[in-house]
Amino acid sequence: MKIAILTSGGDSAGMNAVVRSVVRSGILKGCEMWVVREGYEGLVRGNTQAAEEQAELVNAAAEAEVLNDAANAQKESKQAQPLLPGRKPDENLIHNLRFGDGDLLKDGTSEYVGGRTLKGRYIVRVGWDDVRGWYSQGGTLIGTARSATFRTHEGRLAAAHNLIKEGIDAIVVCGGDGSLTGADVFRSEWPDLIQELHNQGIISDAQVQKHSHLRICGLVGSIDNDMSLTDLTIGAPTALQRICEAIDNINSTAYSHSRAFVVEVMGRDCGWLAVLAGVAGGADFIFIPERPPKANPWEDELCAEIKKHRSIGKRKTIVIVAEGAHDAELNPIRAEYIKEVLTDRLGLDTRVTTLGHTQRGGPPCAMDRILPTLQGVEAVEAILEAKPGTPSYMIGIQENKIIRVPLMEAVEKTRDVARAVKAKDFAKALAARGSEFVEYFEAFSAVASLFDESTQIAPELRMRIGIVHMGAPAGGMNAATRALARYCIRQGHVPIAIHNGFRGLLDDNVDELSWLGVDAWSARGGSELGTNRSLPSIDIGTVASQFQKYGLDSLVIIGGFEGFHALLQLEEGRKHYPAFHIPMVHLPATISNNVPMTEYSLGSDTSLNALTGATLVYTPEDPITLDMLRRDVRFLKTRYAYDVKGRREGRIIIRNEASSNVYSTSVLTKMFQEEGGNLFDARSASLGHTLQGGVPSPLDRARAVRLSLQCMAFIETHHKILLDQGQKRSADPETAAVITIQSSSLEWVPVQVMHQHADMVNRRGKEVWWAGVKELTENLGAKPQFLGIRKEEMKSSSLGI
């Protein structure tokens, strides 16, 4: 099958990772892969020369060159042994290794007039190495456009003709809501388009027959995160990262001068970036298109909130406005006007910062490399499985699960938002964005707006809530604590900080958190409360009496495996100590992401930003063996031998610190140096504790807030149930639980249940959910294919892959 991929609409970080993943997984499935330059515009323009013939010629030359280079490299290698003992690399892969145009796209020389060029060719065949290293590049190397012509019937007719001319059977479209709407229109019109081309005598009977059904799949690439039925669009996390970096910077200058800043962020019709930036960056007020302020005039609501913040001593004010924000009458709300309001009515020294296109450019963050990689694989599978009767799919993500949803349904649901906004039905518009969006929007209010009598719950329901950090620091711990403290104060609870873990509790290192005191915590790395690995078992009796002394009605533990272990000990301690008969929760936070049963812990996103993209990965779950190393050396030699002669290619090998006691990083480095001979050299770098510190990523900060509020809801519910039991209360095991993300949902797991799934010796879960991701990484690095390992052998444990 011939599959083409295009990127369309505004560019977004991660689009190149999509192209790489789709191209490579297509090749692995035996497909011929093509890219369309300049989005739909390229489809409309097509090729002015017979690309198929040209591609075949180029391919034959490239293949000969590849084999020649490999043979030369083998000769030059100081190793006497043959490069490919026993097995040969996959023939399909060698055939599809490179067509040479990848460099033109990567170097920006596609339209070069003095040499090899892609001028006049918009639909281009590509191979494995043509997309090498693309996942870390910003923007889209194959180009994108907003094509007015494709909106016309004539444009789409030309696009259909060009696809048929090149013999393309399927297209993958990566773009935003507009692009996928276009894809849906194209899909629905396809039978009429080919009929029309046939009636005009432009295509033959055979072509009508062969192309009667267009296979199409959508991937959502847009910084706006405005597509329904997916939690995230590719590029939105990176844009959020840019915004939060800017807000973190603005915060310090605003604080210094006691100023107000109005920050305008992108989002033509969608407030996701503004909401998440508000949650993760710690803003005071936000304006979004889906839900304008309720007050009329809205200026009163803004001023009342900011005035409250200033009245308790807040020195800085951050207001975030989405570019598409408007009031309840749909009149635009502009940053400059907000500045005037803050200046004139509150006397604040106010500045405006418009972030503009800095939000859209630059290299993708870890999530925008991982998500497109996984989704690209899924898109190719969806294309290969498509039948005339099945719907065209859009690939999305729900929590941690890559999902397929009917493209038509996603487009329709997205239109619902626009329709609801137009009808000024803002409750409906907000709801139509999906439950996660609503949750974040509500989380913003819960954490940003200052308490007053009206927000507080009945006195008898109010609690003293202990918050403790456990284990190593992880990004998001402080953001979680800030959210917990602020929510508590808003409800009338008292947030009690336990400093330096359970040891600190024994030492009376305990105090109350204040609303303003935690203001700057979101962006701080490490642990503001202080943390260590001491478990309650150091002195469980005294821990219980300290619970009583400080009148704790509930406890939130934020930490990694130790956090879970501590909660387990406290739950077991309930047999002896009434003080532990309170709701107790664990919010996983660890860069190792080793808490059983959850696919996500706070901090893992932050640390992945320091660490993505590898050719080989060694983990403790699949410990290093000599056979494994022999195979990997063979793979690297073969892979380097097939590189373009004289070109330098770096490859990254990641080794987990616990993947072997014997084959250390230094042993591995020396071994690769020795074995690399003339083909490659090796060096090592140990990231160590840099992964634990640093500024927490916006996704970790935002999730910290969301999960903290879920913890509070859990605690409030169970506290009420326990209160109703009166004096002789006895907490069920379910009231000591861990909040987890499992596939597509948030799940509370009682700590005793989690214990059954835990490997207490190796400090991890018995099952690892990401085993498939490791295999996929190695596949997209072509390890098995270069080793000549067949698909059915890959699962075999004897091969250890």
Ligand X SMILES: O=P(O)(O)OC[C@H]1O[C@](O)(CO)[C@@H](O)[C@@H]1O
Ligand Y SMILES: Nc1ncnc2c1ncn2[C@@H]1O[C@H](COP(=O)(O)OP(=O)(O)OP(=O)(O)O)[C@@H](O)[C@H]1O
Residues belonging to the active site: 224
Token code pair at residue 24: 């490579």
**Distance in angstroms between the alpha carbons of the first and the last residue of the chain:** 28
Interface segment toward ligand X; rule CB under 6 A; list 134-142, 265-273, 452-460, 694-702: 265-273
Report, in this order, helix, strand and coil percent for the chain, each rounded to 5: 50, 15, 40
Q: Which of residues 29-68 bind ligand Y (CB under 6 A)?
A: 40
User: At closest approach, how far in Å is the CB of 3 from ligand Y?
Assistant: 20
Q: Is residue 176 close enough to count as binding ligand Y by CB under 6 A?
A: yes
CB nearer ligand Y, residue 217 or residue 448: 217
Q: Which residue type, as a one-letter code, is found at position 120? A: G
Q: Which does 175 bind (CB under 5 to 8 A by kind): Mg ion, ligand Y, ligand X, none?
A: ligand Y
Q: Could you give the angle at the alpha carbon of 407 between the alpha carbons of 403 and 411, nearest 5°? A: 115
| Number of shown-chain residues binding ligand Y (CB under 6 A) | 18
Q: Is residue 222 close enough to count as binding ligand X by CB under 6 A?
A: yes
Q: Is residue 176 close enough to count as binding Mg ion by CB under 5 A?
A: yes
Binding mask 293-332 for ligand X (x = CB under 6 A): ------------------------------x---------
Q: Which does 8 bind (CB under 5 to 8 A by kind): ligand X, Mg ion, ligand Y, none?
A: ligand Y
CB nearer ligand Y, residue 163 or residue 518: 163
The residue from 9, 42, 603, 788 that contacts ligand Y (CB under 6 A) is 9
Instruction: Categorise residue 566: left if φ over 0, alpha if ψ from -120 to 50, beta otherwise.
Output: alpha
Nearest-angstrom CA–CA distance, 594 and 602: 11
CB nearer ligand Y, residue 179 or residue 735: 179
The residue from 223, 246, 274, 366 that contacts ligand X (CB under 6 A) is 223
CB nearer ligand X, residue 155 or residue 235: 235
Q: Is residue 290 close enough to count as binding ligand X by CB under 6 A?
A: no
The residue from 11, 169, 177, 519 that contacts Mg ion (CB under 5 A) is 177
Within 8 A by CB and 6+ apart from 147, the residues are: 8, 38, 39, 40, 41, 44, 155
Distances (CA, A) of 170 to 117, 158, 215, 373, 404: 25, 16, 4, 19, 17
179, 9 contact by CB (below 8 A) = yes
User: At closest approach, how far in Å is the CB of 44 from ligand Y?
Assistant: 9
Question: What letter would DSSP give residue 534?
Answer: -
Interface segment toward ligand X; rule CB under 6 A; list 114-122, 222-230, 479-487, 655-663: 222-230
Q: Kindly tell me the sign of the dihedral angle through the C-alpha atoms of 386, 389, 392, 397.
A: negative
Within 8 A by CB and 6+ apart from 680, the residues are: 636, 640, 651, 672
| Number of shown-chain residues binding Mg ion (CB under 5 A) | 3
Q: Which does 181 bind (CB under 5 to 8 A by kind): ligand Y, ligand X, Mg ion, none?
A: ligand Y
585, 626 contact by CB (below 8 A) = no
| Number of shown-chain residues binding ligand X (CB under 6 A) | 10
Q: Which residue has the tokens 């890559």?
A: 402
Burial track 519-550 (b if 16+ CB lie within 10 A, e otherwise): bbbbbbbbbbbbbbbbbbeeebeebbebbeeb
Token code pair at residue 677: 């001979």
Interface segment toward ligand Y; rule CB under 6 A; list 8-16, 193-201, 244-252, 540-548: 8-16
Burial track 15-43 (b if 16+ CB lie within 10 A, e otherwise): bbbbbbbbbbbbbbbebbbbbbbbbbbbb
CB nearer ligand X, residue 176 or residue 583: 176
Q: Which residue has the tokens 């979680």?
A: 480
User: At closest approach, how far in Å is the CB of 39 from ligand X?
Assistant: 12
Q: Is residue 178 close enough to count as binding Mg ion by CB under 5 A?
A: yes
Token code pair at residue 358: 């800095």
Q: Is residue 355 close enough to count as binding ligand X by CB under 6 A?
A: no
117, 110 contact by CB (below 8 A) = yes
552, 464 contact by CB (below 8 A) = yes
Q: Per DSSP, what are the bridge partners of residue 110?
A: none
Interface segment toward ligand X; rule CB under 6 A; list 263-271, 279-287, 313-321, 414-422: 263-271
Q: Which does 151 bind (CB under 5 to 8 A by kind): ligand X, Mg ion, ligand Y, none?
A: ligand Y
CB nearer ligand Y, residue 273 or residue 535: 273
Q: Which does 47 bind (CB under 5 to 8 A by kind): ligand X, Mg ion, ligand Y, none?
A: none
Q: Which residue has the tokens 């005191």?
A: 517
Q: Which does 660 bind (CB under 5 to 8 A by kind): Mg ion, ligand X, ligand Y, none?
A: none
Interface segment toward Mg ion; rule CB under 5 A; list 96-104, 171-179, 343-351, 711-719: 171-179
Q: Is residue 150 close enough to count as binding ligand Y by CB under 6 A?
A: yes
Q: What is the DSSP string of 713-733?
A: HHHHHHHHHHHHT-TT----G
Q: What are phi and psi of 497, to 5 degrees?
A: -85, 125
The neighbour count for residue 508, using CB atoms within 10 Å, is: 12
Binding mask 9-48 for ligand X (x = CB under 6 A): -x--------------------------------------
The neighbour count for residue 358, using CB atoms within 10 Å, is: 14
Binding mask 159-188 for ligand X (x = CB under 6 A): -----------------x------------
User: At closest approach, how far in Å is the CB of 222 from Mg ion?
Assistant: 5
Q: Is residue 224 close enough to count as binding ligand X by CB under 6 A?
A: yes
Interface segment toward Mg ion; rule CB under 5 A; list 177-185, 389-397, 442-450, 743-751: 177-185
Residues of the shown chain interacting with Mg ion in the complex, contacts defined by CB under 5 A: 176-178
Residues of the shown chain interacting with ligand X in the complex, contacts defined by CB under 6 A: 10, 176, 222-224, 266-268, 323, 360
Residues of the shown chain interacting with ligand Y in the complex, contacts defined by CB under 6 A: 8-10, 40, 146-147, 150-151, 175-179, 181-182, 185, 222, 224
